[in-house]
Structure 1
């Protein structure tokens, strides 16, 4: 199978997971950044799989209005997904990558952006979804998220991969999958207004 076909199928599978939540909403995703990891069976491919699902959830939320049940359901799923993904990624990947002086800065940067996104999502959860300012803040969070995953997929994962053994990568995927499952089952959606 041609690599581009394989990557397209992997992306479509991730989008289908998001679509399953609210099947009647369109997913106007547009293009996504190219990455060598999409569809790979390793930790990096698994992370990109989540990123593609998150991109789809963001796009679907933009198709909703006000306090609709669809918006509430999709936003709840997005928050749970991102929080669980970030915690699992930090344990499985970034904690190891941080130990190597050549990749410490990338790991610190990724973890700090996770914290910023968490704060933005808590701010959105605390605000009125029907307000026009909610959607403006939501779009800002989406832009921050897309910037974050683009950096990970096109720069940080490539740098990290150079310093990891095959055994490290296999172990990281197992840790990620187990930790994400546990995290998602216990995620609490924080509500905290961010003044700015």
Structure 2
């Protein structure tokens, strides 16, 4: 049995608070002196779960922490640049792996096609917002204002996934589907992140 399969067969639920703290700690490792106050998060039954949805929420909490930390930085500091690069690579690779592991399958079911299409469309919008930010001077007065829009859009997107879209998708997936999707997601996420680039493109 390979390592991924072994981990999948022995993985257990983690208490939600512990799962959230671990995700935040992962972000803090990049800039220990920058606060990561993510505040309250939408209620979800998936945080800490050993299936695909628990894995996705794990990333969401990591990204929430990165967003909070970027908002706490000033100017074109090394911390802001490092955290922003990590956020872009994280969000892009997460979205690509999520589309391959989850939404590609969910989209084939007529009952959940709309949910999948909506999620994928929002991924593209987030890509455009990040590319616009990457093309601008981090020290300019408008950068944080534009970043605030990205943060708002991202938090809306993941909140919608956790409270609506995952619930709708789960109704049509078996336990084997959920385990397999997590394995696919982990594999694809690693590959996508290794190849992720920072696109710079001003919005119209």
TM-score of the two chains, using structure 1 as the length reference: 0.96
Distance in structure 2 (CA, Å) of the matches to 1:30 and 1:107: 28
Question: Distance in 2 between the 1:191 and 1:31 partners?
Answer: 32
Mind listing any 5+ residue stretches in structure 2 that lack a counterpart?
1-13
Candidates 94, 100, 106, aligned match of 2:115: 106
**Aligned runs of 1:3-152 on 2, under 5 Å?**
6-152=15-161
Gaps (5+ residues) in structure 1?
Answer: none
Residue 165 of structure 1, CA deviation: 1.0
Determine the structure 2 residue equivalent to 1:155.
Answer: 164
State the SS of the aligned residue for 1:50.
helix
Quote the offset at 1:34 in angstroms. 0.8
CA distance in 2, matches of 1:123, 1:50: 23
- When normalised by structure 2's length, the TM-score is 0.93
Structure 2 residue matching 1:170: 3-state secondary structure:
helix
**1:29 CA displacement:** 1.1
Specify the SS of the correspondent of 2:15. Answer: helix
Q: Which residue of 1 aligns with 2:187?
A: 178
- The alignment yields a C-alpha RMSD, in angstroms, of 0.8
Could you tell me how far apart the structure 1 residues matched to 2:41 and 2:106 are? 25
Task: Report the CA distance between 1:23 and its aligned residue.
Answer: 0.7
